[in-house]
Amino acid sequence: MARNAFYAQSGGVTAVINASAAGVIETARKHKKHIGKVYAGRNGILGALTEDLIDTSRESAANIRALKSTPGGAFGSARYKLKGVEKGGHEYERLIEVFRAHDIGYFFYNGGNDSADTCLKVSRISETLGYPIVAVHVPKTVDNDLPITDTCPGFGSVAKYVATSMMEAVLDVESMARTSTKVFILEVMGRHAGWITAATGLASRRAGEGPHILLFPEVPWNEEAFLARVDEAVKKYGYCAIGASEGLQDASGRFLSESGLKDAFGHAQLGGVAPMLANLVQSKLKLKQHWAVADYLQRAARHIASKADLDQSYAVGKAAVELAVKGMNSVMPTIVRTSSRPYRWRIGVAKLSDVANVEKKMPRDFITPDGFHITQKCRNYLQPLIAGEAFPPFEGGLPKYVRLKNVPVRKKTGEYRP
C-alpha cells in the first residue's frame, strides 16, 4: 500500500536546492505503488510541527520542472533544531502525530550537517517511538563540508559564481591599477571550511594572474605575512587580488569579523572581513583598495549555476526516493567521483550515522605550504565541479524563476506552537 512522503528544505538555501526537490517529486510521481503524495513542509521542518503542509500534487509537471532553474527554497526553509526529550521537548512525538494524521511513511530531509543529525533521529523513530518511517537525507550545502560524498550539491554553483566573479573583477582591477585601485578583496562564505575561498583561486590560471592571495579559515591569520604578500604582489604584478573567507580567524581562534567596535550609530560593528582587510591595506601600505562582500548573491546565483552541480542536485533527490522505496532507511545518497579527467561520477550511499555532525575541512595538501593559495591537487578536485553552464530561461531581461502555488493540505490535528 502506498504511503505519503514528507519533504523539507533545511538550513541555508542554494541556487540548486530546488533541483533536488524536483528530483524527489518527479521520481515519487513515478513510484505510485509506493508513494502517494509528496507533502512539502512550509518553511522546512516547521511545516511538519505546525502541520503546515504543502500538497505538491497540486503543482503542474511544468512548474515542478521549472524548480530546476529556480534558486532559493521554493517551499521555504528553516534554521530550526528539533527539541527531543533530552532538551525537554517532545517535538519528535509531535512529528509522529502529524505524520500519522497524513499517513506519511517517507521522510526526505534536504540539508547539511545539522539536518543530517535530525534526519538520523527521525530514521530511528520506528525503533524509538514505534512509528514506521523511512528517512533519507538529501545532501545540500554550499559549505561543501559533508563527509563521504565527494562534493555537496550547491557547492559547485557557488564555486562557479565566485571563480567567475573573481576572474571578472581581476580584469577590472588589472586594467585600472596603473592610476587607481591596486588591491581588491572579495569576501566569500564558509565560516569553518575554506572550500568557497579555494574556488576563488580557480580564476588564477597563469603566473601572476589574480587572485594572488587566498585567506582560508583553516590558516591562522597573520597580519605581517599578509601585508608582506600584498606588497610583493603589487610590486610584481601592479595589483593584488584577494579571496577571503568570512570565517578568517587569528591564532587564538577569534574571528576577525568580531571586532568589538562600534559603528557610526554607536552599535556593535558586525563585521565583514573584507572591509577590515581593506582598511588595513590602505593604512599600512597606503594602497588604494576596493572590496566586495558577495553574501547571499553567491549562493542564490542560479543564473551562473554549474551544470555538474545542477545534475548532481537533481540526482540526489531522485536517488533518495529510489533508496526509500527499496526500504533503505537512515541513509544519504552521495556523489562518488570515479574519474577526474574526464570527470565521471555516480551515486553512492552513506549511512547517516557516518554523516551526522561530521565536518569535512580542506585537506592540508589542497593548500600551498605558505598557506596563501590552492595546490594543483585542489584545482584537479574543484575544476570538474564548476563545469558546464545551465542558464535559466530569461524573460524581459531577467531570469524566469517559478513561484509555486504552494496549496496547503487541510489540517487534521490540533494547533501546535513550536
- From 29-37, 125-133, 265-273, 409-417, give the range in contact with a second copy by CB under 8 A: 265-273
Decide if residue 302 touches a second copy (CB under 8 A).
Answer: yes
The question of whether 143 is a catalytic residue gets the answer yes
Decide if residue 396 touches a second copy (CB under 8 A).
Answer: yes
Decide if residue 291 touches a second copy (CB under 8 A).
Answer: yes
Decide if residue 173 touches a second copy (CB under 8 A).
Answer: yes
Least distance to a second copy, CB of residue 305, Å: 10
Nearest residue to 251 (alpha-carbon basis) of 218, 214, 273, 227: 218
| Number of CB atoms found within 10 A of residue 143's CB | 25
Decide if residue 244 touches a second copy (CB under 8 A).
Answer: no
Q: What is the DSSP string of 242-296?
A: EEEETT-B-TTS-BTT----B-TTSSBP---HHHHHHHHIIIII---EEEEE-TH
Distances (CA, A) of 350 to 35, 128, 147: 23, 22, 9
Q: What is the DSSP string of 291-329?
A: EEE-THHHHH-GGG-BHHHHHHHHHHHHHHHHHHHTT--
How many residues sit close enough to a second copy to count as binding (CB under 8 A)?
91
Nearest residue to 243 (alpha-carbon basis) of 155, 143, 167, 156: 167
Interactions with a second copy, residue window 68-87 (CB under 8 A): 70-80
Q: Provide the 3-class DSSP secondary structure of residue 129.
A: helix
Element (H, E) at 90: none
Q: Binding a second copy by CB under 8 A: which of 98, 276, 331, 355?
A: 276
∠ CA 26-404-139, rounded to 5°: 50
Interactions with a second copy, residue window 14-53 (CB under 8 A): 15, 43-44, 46
In DSSP terms, 332 is beta-bridged to: 350
- Three-state SS for 338-352 is EEECCEEEEEEEEEH
Decide if residue 140 touches a second copy (CB under 8 A).
Answer: no
Decide if residue 172 touches a second copy (CB under 8 A).
Answer: yes
Least distance to a second copy, CB of residue 399, Å: 6
Pick between residue 207 and residue 264 the one whose CB is nearest to a second copy. Answer: 264
Pick between residue 301 and residue 362 the one whose CB is nearest to a second copy. Answer: 301
- From 111-119, 120-128, 312-320, 379-387, give the range in contact with a second copy by CB under 8 A: 379-387
In DSSP terms, 343 is beta-bridged to: 340
Q: Binding a second copy by CB under 8 A: which of 22, 213, 278, 324?
A: 278
Decide if residue 231 touches a second copy (CB under 8 A).
Answer: no
Decide if residue 104 touches a second copy (CB under 8 A).
Answer: no
Least distance to a second copy, CB of residue 404, Å: 11
In DSSP terms, 301 is beta-bridged to: none
Q: Binding a second copy by CB under 8 A: which of 232, 295, 354, 370?
A: 295
> Cell 565527494 appears where?
150
Q: Binding a second copy by CB under 8 A: which of 366, 401, 404, 409?
A: 401
Catalytic residues: 143
